[in-house]
Structure 1
Amino acid sequence: MTEPTLRSSHLFTLALDVDPNSADLGETPYGRRRIATVKGGHFEGEELKGTVLPSPGGDWLLQRRDGILMLDVRLTLRTHDDHLVYMHYRGMRHGPAWVIEQLNKGEKVDPGQYYFRTTPWFETASEKYRFLNRIVCVATGRRDPAGPVYEVFQIL
């Protein structure tokens, strides 16, 4: 059996601007479903940087009955040199009730107080950034008052 060697390289930091007025579908058979529009954002790393296009882009959120928030996010990134990259990720956020309550109020909370992880995937036709089509990434997140911020890492 070959065990994976988990080494990573920081790919970029992603900050999103999310519309606070999400569509609240209410209690579904799976939990409370909300759909939030991503209005834009930016990303920056050593190899690529740019902006998040305002539309289409969104976060299909599911607040499970056990308190875990599930994320399903789809974005279009425009690099500083005008290449387009589709980014999507799934993930989860959870923590003690008092921490989640503060986050839901838009307050700043130490990210060490809660778990916030995602698994980003990329798709692009760009020759320059084609390496994104063949990498595996993980991200750590934090919820700032202005919106979510992710540190995206390529698994080597």
Structure 2
Amino acid sequence: MTAPPVPGLEFAFQVEARLGPPEDHGVTRAGHRRVVPIVGGSMTGLVEARVLPGGADWQLIRPDGAIEIDTRYSAQTAAGAHIYIRTFGVRSGPPEVLEALLRGDPVDPAEYYFRLGVQLETADAGLAELERSLFVASAIREANTVRYNAYRVT
């Protein structure tokens, strides 16, 4: 019997998303909800685009302190093509590290775990390959930005 191919990773693009001040919605029926506006940024690599303001990260802070990431935002290429970006994932680490990140303190990315799944959607035929691939990313949280490198799963 033939075994399925072993997946690999190839670098695809980097996103730098600038963030607005977090909105703490308190504890809802789903858990502790926080919404972090996305106010701009850039996408470089396989596709060059600017991140448009208006998206957000709808975070859920779990009882164990880990943060469930759920972002939706848009980017636009210089030619005017729109790319809808959705990420989902988790940021976790020791409580004091997560608190330092929330305050905007510089933290070594090796001290916490921040991984994402990335889905892209576009109507631009020249970028259609982005919709036919699966991407995973490793991310860094800074005071007013999130940066991640996305890799195409081969």
Name the TM tier (shorter chain). Answer: over 0.9
Report the secondary structure of 1:5's partner residue.
coil
Which residue type is aligned with residue 13 of structure 1? Answer: Q
* Segments ≥4 residues shifted beyond 2 Å: 1-4
For 1:76 and 1:4, locate their aligned partners in 2 and report how far apart those are by CA, in whole Å: 33
22-31 vs 5-14, which moves further:
22-31
Q: Is the 8 A contact 2:11 2:150 kept in 1?
A: yes
Query: Residues 74-115 of structure 1, C-alpha deviation per residue, up to 9 Å, x if partnerless?
Result: 011112332111110111100012211211110111111110
Mapping of residues 11-30 of structure 1, within 5 Å: 11-20=12-21, 22-30=22-30
Structure 1 alignment gaps of length 5 or more = none
For 1:136 and 1:63, locate their aligned partners in 2 and report how far apart those are by CA, in whole Å: 26
Which residue, out of 139, 143, 146, partners 1:145? 143
Report the secondary structure of 1:11's partner residue.
strand
Normalized against structure 1, the TM-score is what? 0.92
Which residue type is aligned with residue 75 of structure 2? Answer: L
Which residue type is aligned with residue 140 of structure 1? Answer: S
C-alpha RMSD of the superposition: 1.4
Report the secondary structure of 2:126's partner residue.
coil
For 1:142 and 1:97, locate their aligned partners in 2 and report how far apart those are by CA, in whole Å: 17
1:124 Cα offset (Å)? 0.8
Instruction: Look up the match of 2:35.
Output: 35
Give the direction of change, closer, same or farther, for the CA distance of 1:4–1:28 in structure 2 (3 Å limit). farther
1:4 Cα offset (Å)? 4.7
Normalized against structure 2, the TM-score is what? 0.93
Q: Is the 8 A contact 1:30 1:64 kept in 2?
A: no
Query: Residues 107-144 of structure 1, C-alpha deviation per residue, up to 9 Å, x if partnerless?
Result: 11111111000100011110110001110000100111
For 1:115 and 1:144, locate their aligned partners in 2 and report how far apart those are by CA, in whole Å: 14
Q: Is the 8 A contact 2:20 2:144 kept in 1?
A: no
1:6 Cα offset (Å)? 2.6
Q: Is the 8 A contact 1:74 1:87 kept in 2?
A: yes
For 2:102 and 2:143, locate their aligned partners in 1 and report how far apart those are by CA, in whole Å: 9
Instruction: Look up the match of 1:69.
Output: 67
Which residue type is aligned with residue 36 of structure 1? Answer: V
Q: Percent identity?
A: 33
1:2 Cα offset (Å)? 3.4
1:40 Cα offset (Å)? 0.8
Instruction: Look up the match of 2:7.
Output: 6
Q: Is the 8 A contact 1:48 1:80 kept in 2?
A: no
Structure 2 alignment gaps of length 5 or more = none
For 2:79 and 2:109, locate their aligned partners in 1 and report how far apart those are by CA, in whole Å: 32
Instruction: Look up the match of 2:53.
Output: 54
